[in-house]
A and B are shown apart, each in its own frame.
Chain A
Amino acid sequence: MRPDIFTLLKTLRNGKGDFVPLMELGVHPKIKERFLGHPIQSLQDEVEFSYKAGYDYVKLQPIVDFNPQKLGAQTEEKPLDGTLSYNWAHEGQGLITSFDDLERYVFPRAEEIDYSRFEQIKQYLPEGMGVIGQYGDIFTMTWELMGMEAFSLALFENPELVKTLNSILGNIELSMFEYMVQSDVVDAIWYTDDIAFSTGLLVSPDVLHSYFFPWLKKIGEMAKAADKPFIYHTDGVLWDVFEDIIACGVNALHPIEPKAMNLAEVKQKYGDRLCLIGAVDVDLLCRGSKEEVEETVRHNIEVAAYNGGYCVGSGNSIPDYVNYENYLTLLNASKKYGTF
């Protein structure tokens, strides 16, 4: 019977339930609206989408503004098909390139973080649906706030600045995860922070051990103490850091970006210690045929779900430019092939 958060949690802990769960880090509101036939305007709408699409959870984030002064915000430029709004990686001039900049920057205080969604959600959840608490980007925000070039040079020329900024961001986020692991509404936690791209790590393992893994470990320890599964999202090729990720207490890894790593190979090498989530290429969802999407879902389930420990999903997320029919095919194929 769906939704079934207990089967999802069992799968995240590398167990096998009666079905292969569906998971996404994010589905664009335009896709959700088309699916539901009405706008997404409330928590209720979010729950309705999750329920009807076949997810066993709804994902919630605390509400926090990491740039309350709106520094560096550009004037509104008319988006071309919405694509100009995809400025996820702020690679240009950073906002913080000196200790003076850092001193002037206003960071959110822990007491300003809004957790009201977590308090409100219970009344909307149907039986069997759970909540996953998510946030991320301690490492990503460190380099985004500095700009990738300034961050990179500062690693060599001004490491104290990187360390100080990273520490401020990390401690703010730890307070969020502290709330989420303690909340009786939250069933699992999901930390997102890209450390790699399709051909390699963004920075050396040594740099990750300074500015990323200590935080992942702390969050992992919180999750373990609260007995909640810990999901970690990063794109890219991770062969050199799999053991480090596992050592931080990660139970499940998302999204197994197809261009970067082969799902069967990851399953063969780490499937006994990690639940795997995703691996349906976003490019395939955009430009492939329905038949190709269905076959990919079938194949992924065959190679990764035979002993549990796999959830069907995209190789990143579902943006608005995904072919809608292909997204529906993914959902339907998951049900067709994912029942034991």
Chain B
Amino acid sequence: MKELLDQLSLCIEKGKVDQNSAYPPDLKGQPGASELTAQLLQNGISPNEILEKALMPGMKRIGDKFGKGLAFIPDLLIAAKAMKASMALLKPYFDSGVAQRKGIFILGTVRGDLHDIGKNLVGMVLEGNGWQIVDLGVNVSAESFLKALQEHPDAHLGLSALLTTTMLYMEEIVKTVKTTHPNTPIFIGGAPVTQEFNRKIGADGYFPDPQKLVNFLEAQRA
């Protein structure tokens, strides 16, 4: 089974979605993430084990490469596509409670901003790490974040912005949320965001790439 798990992990890292996928060329014709996940489930391997021993390591390797500038947005996206193919088979187990996720992450691009690729990448990497994502989309107000928190009171929050002018709204969101949910961790990211800004507005962390956020969360859980 270890071999199958390692193979699945490689398919995630390299973006091999299924047997019909022509990419990557060196895995052409071989089983992909879909087939290997199905085979593992049929062999009685638990969804949590598949997530922890295959999906997470695969996404971590490509995420770490991305953080070091050795992989790029397209590489993360094709890996995420393979991961989603696997998750589609695991989802019923997580939804029914048979398998457990690590928690819920509410993500949104803040009010006034329509850019979402950064937020989407964070969502994909977090999902590959076992988090359930509630994606509020773009142009999200403080009130919308609060409403989502009322539905998921133990969730973490992730705020994204691409422009200096929209980034400033993060301060209002943090103030609003911390008033009623002082223990909710709030993480921020986006092109103009810095550690200094994170400290200034009282958020709980800024990470320049998704894998660094995942590494931080894993360290907290350890």
Contacts and interface: CB of A to CB of B under 8 A. Distances in A.
A106 interface: no
A91 B192 contact: no
Contact of A91 (B15, B21, B117, B194): B117
Interface residues of A, number: 34
Interface string B9-53: 000000100000111100000000000000000000000000000
A340 interface: no
B162 interface: yes
A205 B164 CA distance: 28
B116 interface: yes
Interface in B120-147: 120, 139
Contacts, number: 89
A153 B74 contact: yes
B164 A84 contact: no
B66 to A, nearest CB: 8
B208 interface: yes
A199 B208 contact: yes
Contacts of B192: 259, 282-283
B191 interface: yes
Given A91-B115, A153-B77, A83 B166 contact: yes
B74 to A, nearest CB: 4
Given A81-B112, A152-B78, A157-B22, A198 B117 contact: no
Given A149-B77, A259-B192, 19 more contacts: A80-B112, A83-B112, A83-B113, A83-B163, A86-B113, A86-B165, A86-B166, A87-B114, A89-B162, A152-B78, A157-B23, A199-B69, A200-B69, A201-B69, A283-B192, A286-B164, A287-B168, A321-B164, A321-B165
Interface of B: 15, 21-24, 69, 71-75, 77-78, 81, 111-117, 120, 139, 162-166, 168, 191-192, 194, 208-209
23 contacts: A80-B111, A81-B165, A83-B112, A83-B163, A84-B112, A86-B166, A87-B114, A87-B115, A91-B120, A148-B73, A148-B117, A152-B77, A153-B74, A153-B81, A156-B23, A199-B209, A201-B69, A201-B72, A204-B75, A282-B192, A286-B164, A287-B168, A319-B165
